[in-house]
Amino acid sequence: MRLKQKTILRYALVLLIGIISGWLVFGSRPEPTAETMETGHMHDSSMTASDEHAEAGTVEIWTCSMHPQIRQNEPGDCPICGMDLIPLAQEQTEESSPYQLVMSENAVRLANVQTTPVTRQHPERKLSLNGKIEVNEQQIRRQTAHFPGRVEQMLITYEGQAVERGQIIAYVYSPPLVTAQRELLEAARLSDTNPTLLSAAKRKLKLWKLSDRQIQRIIDEGEIITNWPIRADVAGRVSEINVETGGHVQEGTPFFTVANLDEVWAVFEVYENQLAWLSEGDSIRFTVAAYPARTFTGKITFVDPFIHPQTRVALVRTEVDNSHHQLKPKMFAQGTVIGGEQPASGDNSMVVPKSAVLWTGPRSIVYIKVNNTTVPTYEMREIALGPSLGDQYIVENGLKEGDAVVTNGAFTVDAAAQLNNKSSMMNREAALPAQQATLVELDEEENTTPDFTASLPSAFREQMQQLLLPYLAMKDALVASDAATAQKQAQTLVSRFSQIDTQALAGEAATFWKEHQSALLNHAQTLQSASKVDTQRRHFKPLSSEMIMLVRAFGTDQPLYVQHCPMADNDEGADWLSVSEAVKNPYYGDMMLTCGNVSSIINP
């Protein structure tokens, strides 16, 4: 009985301890009131909204660095160029102008962005020219025969042989000269009775270039010289031999031609865009491979008034002293000339460094730093460029003196503008969705190419279509990086040119065709000889430019799309023709198959 009471007492004690512990833990918390319940509910609601906002903020937008109008909520490939999409930063500021980009101080520092003020200066251009050493044509002389005869012995036997004035160059048997010597001796015997006869005999020999000393020697010796020694009237190096031993000569027949190499010409090729910077009297410094450490100097004495129709260059020449005969004709020369200002230029022209210009064909841009801003701000400016001055460009318009242009880091600034969907080198219209972009029809765009389609004979139009077929096949081969097929199509294109009958063309149409078909054929022949696809793609650009002009001028039987890749040719851009609106890039092939856009349409 007592044991049972102890057990009950023990359980009661444990229960009491549990009750006291529970009161200590839960009994001190106050009862929830309506106010506290409402406050707690509001707190939970606000947390939920915040969480939802934070969750929404973590959604990344993915874009293409080449085509910023492409945006999607997940990673992938750009549907235009196939490049990997990159995440777009969400913390983009809202600038007032789509042409302005705001960058942080840290971003400017990391990109090493540097600016240079636009200045005005006297325009001078350093030109590098290729040329050759040539014989001075004013120093070329011919040794001719003064009387007829047979060459018994020719002492000048090889080209390059040195000839001195007065040296014997040949022995000639001349029957007329033998007869004239007999007449001289007979006249000398009768000189006391008939002195005029002697004078006439001497005069006859002098007309054959015999000297008084030679004539007197014949009289003194009283003998006829049958093999007469011919002495050189000229001096120099033999460049051409016309007579050999045993040959017959008439009066005026050239024995040989000599060139005086004491003074030579250095002839250089100058392109059309360089001609305005050169004039007679300018000094050219040049080197040759034989003497790389020596610099030769000459002044421009002649500028060719004609442009070579095939190479599109003019020749300028300098006269160079060559008394030591170090310069040999046909040596290659590398020349440098500092050209003066163009005649149309003012006293000073506005110039910018080349590193500041993002060149995209006719549309060149620079970035200038905007003044009076609290954070670094850069504005895109489209400018019109004048001639190149080596490491600088003349700016015709778009800038003013004192503007601070970005000269280091311009591509970084442009890339940042592109990723923020601002106006940039690759983004002509700021914040313009791709689906809103419209193609510009040929009749709506500014186009200076003449239109001959109205009066074009149908036969010639058909020939033009036959000319297009190998071009389009060549384009497809370059898309597939098939060098052999591209070369074969270039050969077909060249052969098609020989089949075109241009007699139906007249007036301006004939002139236009003659000018451009010559250039196009030249490019096609160059491409025909190229076996590597990279070389073919390089020559495909000028070929396409000429083909586009011919198609625009003479028409087409089907719609053709003029497509443009801004990255081709080291970011200078290149065009091509296609029968399909879908872009397939012949300049990059599989590397960037769909990079580019349709710039215009040529309709039938």
- Does 372 reside within a domain? yes
- Does 76 reside within a domain? no
The proportion of the chain whose per-residue pLDDT surpasses 90, expressed as a percent, equals 31
Question: How many Å apart are CA 472 and CA 493, to the nearest integer?
Answer: 10
State whether 504 and 589 are in the same domain.
yes
State whether 306 and 409 are in the same domain.
no
Higher confidence at residue 87 or residue 365? 365
Domain enclosing residue 16, as ranges: 2-56
State whether 335 and 353 are in the same domain.
no
State whether 40 and 115 are in the same domain.
no
Q: What pLDDT is attached to residue 20?
A: 63
State whether 239 and 169 are in the same domain.
yes
Model confidence band, residue 86 (pLDDT cutoffs 50, 70, 90): confident
- Does 81 reside within a domain? no
CATH of the domain at 317: 2.40.30.170
Element (H, E) at 51: helix 34-57
Model confidence band, residue 342 (pLDDT cutoffs 50, 70, 90): low
Question: How many Å apart are CA 105 and CA 108, to the nearest integer?
Answer: 5
- Does 584 reside within a domain? yes
Strand order in the sheet with 254-259: 140-144, 254-259, 236-241, 162-163
Give tens-digit pLDDT for 5-16: 556 666 666 566
- Does 70 reside within a domain? no
pLDDT tops 90 at residue 286: yes
Of 380, 410, 436, the one marking the end of a domain is 436
Q: What pLDDT is attached to residue 373?
A: 85
Q: Which of 338, 410, 385, 366 is CA-nearest to residue 114?
A: 410
Higher confidence at residue 81 or residue 227? 227
Model confidence band, residue 95 (pLDDT cutoffs 50, 70, 90): very low
What number is the average pLDDT over the span 273-290? Answer: 89
Q: Looking at 69-73, 192-196, 309-313, 579-583, which range is the least confident one?
A: 69-73
Q: What pLDDT is attached to residue 422?
A: 81
Q: What pLDDT is attached to residue 448?
A: 62
State whether 598 and 462 are in the same domain.
yes
Model confidence band, residue 232 (pLDDT cutoffs 50, 70, 90): very high
CATH of the domain at 210: 2.40.50.100
pLDDT tops 80 at residue 81: no
What number is the average pLDDT over the span 102-130? Answer: 86
State whether 142 and 238 are in the same domain.
yes
Higher confidence at residue 186 or residue 89? 186
Q: What pLDDT is attached to residue 348?
A: 77
Q: What pLDDT is attached to residue 154?
A: 94
Question: How many Å apart are CA 254 and CA 154, to the nearest integer?
Answer: 13
Higher confidence at residue 302 or residue 107? 302
Higher confidence at residue 33 or residue 399? 399
Give tens-digit pLDDT for 514-559: 777 777 888 888 888 888 888 888 888 988 888 888 888 888 888 8
Model confidence band, residue 169 (pLDDT cutoffs 50, 70, 90): very high
What is the number of domains present in the chain? 5
Sign (positive/negative) of CA torsion 446, 449, 450, 452?
negative
Question: How many Å apart are CA 63 and CA 69, to the nearest integer?
Answer: 7
State whether 391 and 307 are in the same domain.
no
What number is the average pLDDT over the span 502-523? Answer: 77
What number is the average pLDDT over the span 156-182? Answer: 92
- Does 79 reside within a domain? no
Phi-psi region of 246 (alpha: psi -120 to 50; beta: other; left: phi over 0): left
What number is the average pLDDT over the span 116-137? Answer: 88
Q: Looking at 149-158, 301-310, 340-349, 460-469, which range is the least confident one?
A: 340-349
DSSP summary character for residue 364: E
pLDDT tops 70 at residue 185: yes
N- to C-terminal Cα separation, the chain: 121
pLDDT tops 50 at residue 48: no
Q: What pLDDT is attached to residue 49?
A: 38
Contact 587, 560 (CB under 8 A): no
CATH of the domain at 377: 2.40.420.20
State whether 219 and 158 are in the same domain.
yes
CATH of the domain at 574: 1.20.120.290
Q: What pLDDT is attached to residue 188?
A: 87
Model confidence band, residue 297 (pLDDT cutoffs 50, 70, 90): very high
Element (H, E) at 43: helix 34-57
Give tens-digit pLDDT for 411-432: 888 888 877 778 887 775 554 4
Q: If DSSP codes are grouped into helix, strand and coil, which group holds residue 525?
A: helix
Q: What pLDDT is attached to residue 7?
A: 63
Model confidence band, residue 148 (pLDDT cutoffs 50, 70, 90): very high
Q: What pLDDT is attached to residue 520?
A: 80
What number is the average pLDDT over the span 150-170? Answer: 93
Question: How many Å apart are CA 281 and CA 321, to the nearest integer?
Answer: 16
Phi-psi region of 112 (alpha: psi -120 to 50; beta: other; left: phi over 0): left
State whether 235 and 310 are in the same domain.
no
What number is the average pLDDT over the span 165-179? Answer: 92
Model confidence band, residue 341 (pLDDT cutoffs 50, 70, 90): low
- Does 471 reside within a domain? yes
- Residues with Cβ within 8 Å of residue 24, at least 6 apart in sequence: none
Question: How many Å apart are CA 586 and CA 588, to the nearest integer?
Answer: 6
pLDDT tops 70 at residue 21: no
State whether 316 and 382 are in the same domain.
no
Q: If DSSP codes are grouped into helix, strand and coil, which group holds residue 361?
A: coil
What number is the average pLDDT over the span 53-58? Answer: 44
Burial 561-593 (b: 16+ CB within 10 A, else e): bbbbbbbbbeeebbbbbbeeeebbbbbbbeebb
Of 314, 339, 364, the one marking the end of a domain is 339
Q: What is the average pLDDT value for the chain, to the nearest integer?
A: 81
CA distances from 373 to 66, 103, 378 (A): 29, 11, 10
- Does 321 reside within a domain? yes
State whether 118 and 157 are in the same domain.
no
Amino acid at 160: G
Of 411, 436, 461, the one marking the end of a domain is 436
Amino acid at 242: N
Model confidence band, residue 266 (pLDDT cutoffs 50, 70, 90): very high
Higher confidence at residue 444 or residue 158? 158
* Range of 186-190, 255-259, 495-499 with top mean pLDDT: 255-259
Q: What pLDDT is attached to residue 237?
A: 93
Q: What pLDDT is attached to residue 459?
A: 76
Q: What pLDDT is attached to residue 437?
A: 36
* Helices 507-528/533-554 angle, 10° precision: 170
Give tens-digit pLDDT for 457-486: 777 778 888 888 988 999 999 999 998 998
